[in-house]
Amino acid sequence: MADVIFIGLSLSSILLLIALGLTIIYGAMGVINMAHGELVMIGAYTAVMTGIYLGFNLIAALPVAFLVAGGIGFLMERAVIRHLYGRLLDTLLATWGIAIILKQAIRLEFGLSFLDIHIDGLGTGLQNVAIPAFLNQPWSIGGIEVQSYRTFIILLTVFLALVTWFLMYRTSYGIQVRAIMRNADMAAACGIDVKKVSSLTFAYGSGLAGVAGVMMAGFKTVSPDMGSSLVVDGFLVVVVGGVGSLLGSVASAGFLGQVNGIFATYSNDILARAVVFGVVILIIMWRPQGLFSFKGR
Amino acid sequence: MHAFVADRRRLEFLAYALFIAGVLAMPLFIDAFWLNRIAKYLVYGMLGLAIALSWGYAGILNLGQGLFFGFGAYMAAMSLKLQSYTSLQQGSDKPIPDFMLWNAEPNAPTDLCCINEGSFLWLPFQAQWFGMAMAILAPTLIAYLVGSAIFRLRISGVYVAIITLALVLLTRLLIIDAQPVTNGFNGLTDLGWLTIGGFEFDPYMTQTYYLVAAGMVVVLLATRLLVATRAGLILQSTRDDPNRARYLGYNVAAYQVFFFTVSAAIAGFAGMLYVIAAEFASPTFMDLTFSISMVVWAAVGGRASLLGACIGAILINTIEASVSESEMLQEGWKLIIGFLFVLVVLFMPRGLAGLVNDMLDRIEAMLKPGAARPPATTKTAAATAAEKPGE
Amino acid sequence: MASAKGKALTIDGLTVDFGGFKAVDGFSMIVGDGELRVLLGANGAGKTTLMDLISGKTRSTDGSVHLYDLNITNQEEYRIARAGVGRKFQIPSIFRELTVEQNLIVAGTREPSVFRNLTFGINREGRRRLEDVVELTRLGDVLDRPAGELSHGETQWLELGMLVSQGARVILLDEPTAGMTQVETQKTAELINRMKGDHTILVVEHDMAFVREIASTITVMHLGKLLAEGSMAEIESNQAVRDAYLGSGGIH
């Protein structure tokens, strides 16, 4: 049983890692960022590229990926998202377009493929990233053997969730973000630079996606198409948890990860995922505002 | 003012006539290979139109339209699979899908009823009409049930999008998992041809093209008439302001369910025609990408215009096919689609159809100054329409 | 007067409890057929909540609402509307993308079923009614315009016109002159006066000049309860009303 719970915990941590950035972006800004999965993919490619050209291992790639994905997110917000606030479904569609662009940028090696120049690590092919040796041995706690890489992901997720919580609830920046979440017009009237805070929030959420990507690279083959299914997982976590609720996302990632883990153990991975979708549909129909939405209205 | 409206009606009529004439004249200009391709894109046109009906007219963004297309396709494909020579070469007098035999237990009876646990589900599909009827009925029924559940709970906007999306992905997984009955990832291939009264519809024949084209034209015209009925008008009113409609005495959910179901039935019919032309059904029909692509086509063509969305779908796919000779070009085209889509959402929320409308407004304003209203005001109406579903 | 012509709207002991807070508390009122009744009260007196309860937007926890002899308590909104209650919101709500004429057609269908609406246009009877409403609201010049392009005043008149088209026997109006210019308010008062008699009208309004223009009987609410009922003169001299409004210096 303990090993099943550990598998669930490991799945939960990955879900949360992907969803963390989305929670903030969707919650704070009402933007459904369909390109979030592609930002994860960019993070994974950052791990590939820094490994090839700079000899970085996965852990060294983490801050780089945070900056790269965060930078792309910042540009996205400035160029496109900014013009679509308040148009929820339109942000969904526009970011889908951005997702295609990001995917094609990697596939076409930033367009250099047209000139027949090829960059090692990019293109349509699959890439693999090695896990650093010290994270590669299994170790055992309480009689069960666990992978140290999975454990590392869990710890990193906990760490990032705490950092995010601290940023949102213990800094003046966080107060501004939460003010914008509740009422952007009022926040602006109170002298908050809504545009600046929005850009930074979007960049931070995107940066988290980049970090998630590096960790994904350690146990999944990296390819330009890896992002599409991730964004769905991320969204289900966010919606089930309740829009804009950090605690809700943690709880819902924990719950969905365990559901997935338990069903995967007793049937197979495909059915387990199907069950997760089914559970999510029922939860949304029962409580569209999510399990942990803030009160009001 | 009345003359203005009448002129615009005449122009719309002309646009429909030209489009339909173009579709019907297609076989004069292109070879069998391209005719088959265009037939598939006409099917995509129906999908764009189905999206425009639910999104543009009802304000319901369905991100899981692939569910209904896929169901239509699978139902039709099951019948055609049993017609295939690959199903008849098994020494049994009853056809059995080849993949069932390949994967059968060593001592399983060679009979469709019980070669595996789920194979009996295929029995009624021995009658071709059953598969074709189910291709429309199954999506209709599913949409009715799903729609009733969603809309009676007054779920709207992005939650409908997420539920429909989760539903199509869920179904896709179930189909893949039910490998013995559905052939899983591989889908249903090596299908036989649709046969009506002894006539076999070879996908590369002009007759098959006309079968698909006629289906598309009928659906296009019927849908156009449907939205012009009072029910269509009431539907649009529920999109603009569901509460107002409610306080006028309309059961908003009933209207949403009805049109959601019609949209699904069109998608199911499209799935059936697609299988007839393309000769396969696959779980990729239920991929996230495919369902969102339909929305992209409709958005580029014009979400609030049935004809626009239809043309948008056909155009995008035809261009994509013409660049498919080179892999580089194809990848490049996808990149362009990405940019195009962002630009359309940002600057042209009403798509190509809206662009044409604005141009007509401008021409009108030039021809008879004072008679036409300034195009700027119609633009604000469109912008608010674009914002509406997100609230 | 009310008893002679029959009771259009009978509210009996109506209560809604929002987790301990009773926004409307044992409220009773009878509005006679064809009467125009004004509902007064300070902010938070429960006027809009009362309209929500009558029209089915909010479910009551106790008491009943009858439309003539029909019990409409806690029915679904569209059923209450079909029974003959029309409602105008404080924020004008019309179908912005449809033309003015289409708005009126939607309102005047008199047929709720999807399937029976699968035909085109409206019949002669419907056309005649539509022309009457256009005449009443004086929207003839803008029939082909999308409703989203109308001015604030025109939007309000369109919404009133839709309630008439709908065939509502009892019409609930929530601050029909909010945000209007002097001229628009005047025209609205005329319009409501012309609707009076054919329809039973219940109006929430703060603009006292406007109330004098239209009112016959006034009901005053305070903290969810009935405070007073009577003519303008009676209300102005009522001690309970004066006490309740003492802080704001009475009603003017």
8-state DSSP, B57: I
Query: What is the C-alpha separation between C207 and C2, in angstroms, rounded?
Result: 25
Range in A170-179, B45-54, B360-369 with the lowest mean pLDDT: B360-369
Across the interface, which of B158, B332, B391 has its CB nearest the CB of A108?
A: B332
Amino acid identity of C43?
Answer: N
Non-local CB neighbours of A266 within 8 Å, separated by 6+ positions: none
Range in A181-185, B39-43, B312-316 with the lowest mean pLDDT: A181-185
Q: Strand C62-67 to strand C70-71: parallel, antiparallel, or no bridges (unpaired)?
A: antiparallel
Which tokens in the block code for residue C212?
């004098």
Beta bridge partners of C173: C88, C203
Full set of structural domains in chain A with CATH: 2-121+129-135+145-286 (1.10.3470)
Structure confidence at residue B92 as a pLDDT band (50, 70, 90): low
Report residue C87 CA to chain centroid gap: 5
Asked whether the beta carbons of residue B169 and residue A232 sit closer than 8 angstroms, the reply is yes
Instruction: Please list every residue in chain C whose beta carbon sits closer than 8 Å to the beta carbon of residue B228.
Output: 120
User: Phi, psi (5° rounding) for residue C227?
Assistant: -105, -45
Higher pLDDT, A170 or B73: B73
Q: How far is B331 from chain C (nearest CA, A)?
A: 39
Structure confidence at residue B384 as a pLDDT band (50, 70, 90): very low
- Other C-beta atoms lying within 10 Å of the C-beta of residue A114: 13
Residue-level pLDDT at C5: 55
Structural domain of B276: 2-390
Asked whether the beta carbons of residue A284 and residue B163 sit closer than 8 angstroms, the reply is yes
- Other C-beta atoms lying within 10 Å of the C-beta of residue A265: 15
pLDDT digits (tens, 9 = 90+) for A239-286: 888 877 888 889 899 999 988 888 888 888 889 989 999 999 998 888
A288 in contact with B, Cβ within 8 Å: yes
Whether B238 shows a pLDDT value over 70: the answer reads yes
Contact call for residues B16 and B219 (beta carbons, < 8 A): no
Across the interface, which of C93, C98, C148 has its CB nearest the CB of B233?
A: C98
CATH at residue C189: 3.40.50.300
How far is residue B302 from each of residues B19, B176, B309, B354, C46, measured CA to CA in Å? 16, 34, 5, 6, 45
Closest CA to B46 of B135, B169, B134, B129: B135
Whether B373 shows a pLDDT value over 70: the answer reads no
Q: How far is B13 from chain C (nearest CA, A)?
A: 17
- To the nearest 10°, the Cα dihedral for B113, B114, B117, B121? -10
User: Phi, psi (5° rounding) for residue B242?
Assistant: -60, -35
Q: What count of CB pairs under 8 Å joins A to B?
A: 128
- Chain B residue set in contact with A, beta carbons under 8 Å: 61, 149-150, 153, 155, 157-159, 161-163, 165-167, 169-170, 173-174, 176-177, 288-289, 292, 295-296, 299, 328, 331-332, 334-335, 337-342, 345-346, 349, 386-387, 389-391
User: Is chain B touching chain C, with at least 3 CB–CB pairs below 8 Å?
Assistant: yes
Non-local CB neighbours of A193 within 8 Å, separated by 6+ positions: none
Closest CA to B312 of B301, B302, B299: B301
Residue-level pLDDT at A291: 78
C17 three-class SS: strand
Contact call for residues C221 and C54 (beta carbons, < 8 A): no
Asked whether the beta carbons of residue C105 and residue B384 sit closer than 8 angstroms, the reply is no
- Other C-beta atoms lying within 10 Å of the C-beta of residue A252: 28
Calculate Rg over the CA atoms of chain A.
19
Q: How far is A81 from chain B (nearest CA, A)?
A: 9
Q: Give the angle subtended at the CA of A177 by the CAs of A171 and A180, to the nearest 5°.
A: 145
Query: What is the C-alpha separation between C52 and C58, in angstroms, rounded?
Result: 5
C243 in contact with B, Cβ within 8 Å: no
Query: What is the C-alpha separation between A136 and C150, in angstroms, rounded?
Result: 69
Amino acid identity of C94?
Answer: I
Alpha helices in B178-287 (DSSP H): 179-182, 206-228, 230-240, 242-247, 252-278
Amino acid identity of B15?
Answer: A
Query: What is the C-alpha separation between B96 and B98, in angstroms, rounded?
Result: 6
Number of residues that make up chain B:
391
A87 in contact with B, Cβ within 8 Å: yes
Type and span of the H or E element at A139: strand A138-141
Q: How far is C146 from chain B (nearest CA, A)?
A: 8
pLDDT digits (tens, 9 = 90+) for B133-178: 999 999 999 999 999 999 999 988 888 998 999 999 999 999 999 9
Which tokens in the block code for residue A135?
């994270």
DSSP string, C24-88: EEEEEEEEETT-EEEEE--TTSSHHHHHHHHHTSS--SEEEEEETTEE-TT--HHHHHHHTEEEE
Query: What is the C-alpha separation between C238 and C219, in angstroms, rounded?
Result: 12
8-state DSSP, B374: P
Split into its structural domains, chain C has a count of 1
Closest CA to A105 of A66, A76, A62: A76
Residue in B with minimal Cα distance to A91: B345
Number of residues that make up chain A:
297
Ramachandran area for residue B237 (φ above 0: left; ψ -120 to 50: alpha; else beta): alpha
**pTM to 2 decimal places:** 0.90
Ramachandran area for residue A86 (φ above 0: left; ψ -120 to 50: alpha; else beta): left
8-state DSSP, C232: H
B2 in contact with C, Cβ within 8 Å: yes
Alpha helices in chain A (DSSP H): 2-29, 36-49, 58-79, 88-107, 148-170, 172-182, 184-189, 194-217, 227-241, 246-266, 269-286
Query: What is the C-alpha separation between C47 and C26, in angstroms, rounded?
Result: 13
Across the interface, which of A87, A228, A239 has its CB nearest the CB of B289?
A: A228
Strand order from edge to edge, sheet including C62-67 = C21-32, C7-18, C62-67, C70-71
Whether B340 shows a pLDDT value over 80: the answer reads yes
Q: Strand B199-201 to strand A144-147: parallel, antiparallel, or no bridges (unpaired)?
A: unpaired
Structure confidence at residue A293 as a pLDDT band (50, 70, 90): low
> If you average pLDDT over every residue of chain B, what do you get?
87
- Which residue, chain included where needed, has tokens 């914008």? A180
A156 three-class SS: helix
| pLDDT by position in tens, chain C (length 252) | 444 458 899 999 999 998 888 899 999 999 999 889 999 888 888 898 999 999 999 999 999 999 999 999 999 999 999 999 999 988 889 999 999 999 999 999 888 899 989 989 888 888 999 999 999 888 989 998 999 999 988 999 999 999 999 989 999 998 888 888 888 888 888 888 888 878 999 999 877 888 888 877 899 998 889 888 888 888 888 888 887 775 554 454
C101 in contact with B, Cβ within 8 Å: no
Type and span of the H or E element at B308: helix B306-322
Residue-level pLDDT at A29: 79
Q: Which of B1, B223, B233 to mutate to test the interface with C (most CBs of C within 10 A)?
A: B233
What is the complex's ipTM, to 2 decimals? Answer: 0.89
Split into its structural domains, chain B has a count of 1
Across the interface, which of A89, A232, A270 has its CB nearest the CB of B61?
A: A89
Higher pLDDT, B388 or A69: A69
Beta bridge partners of C199: C196
pLDDT digits (tens, 9 = 90+) for A117-149: 777 778 777 787 777 777 777 777 766 677 788
A125 in contact with B, Cβ within 8 Å: no
Asked whether the beta carbons of residue B230 and residue C146 sit closer than 8 angstroms, the reply is no
Residue in B with minimal Cα distance to C54: B247
Which tokens in the block code for residue A145?
């053997």
pLDDT digits (tens, 9 = 90+) for B32-45: 899 999 999 999 99
Closest CA to A147 of A219, A210, A208, A254: A219
Non-local CB neighbours of B107 within 8 Å, separated by 6+ positions: none
Structural domain of C58: 2-248
β strands within chain B, DSSP E: 194-196, 199-201
Contact call for residues C210 and C177 (beta carbons, < 8 A): yes
Query: What is the C-alpha separation between A77 and A85, in angstroms, rounded?
Result: 10
Which tokens in the block code for residue B311?
């043309």
- Using a pLDDT cut of 70, give the percent of chain A over it: 97
Sign of dihedral through CA atoms B21, B23, B24, B26?
Answer: positive
Residue-level pLDDT at B4: 58
Sign of dihedral through CA atoms B224, B289, B143, B72?
Answer: positive
8-state DSSP, B283: G
Whether B226 shows a pLDDT value over 90: the answer reads yes
Non-local CB neighbours of A185 within 8 Å, separated by 6+ positions: none
Contact call for residues C136 and C164 (beta carbons, < 8 A): yes
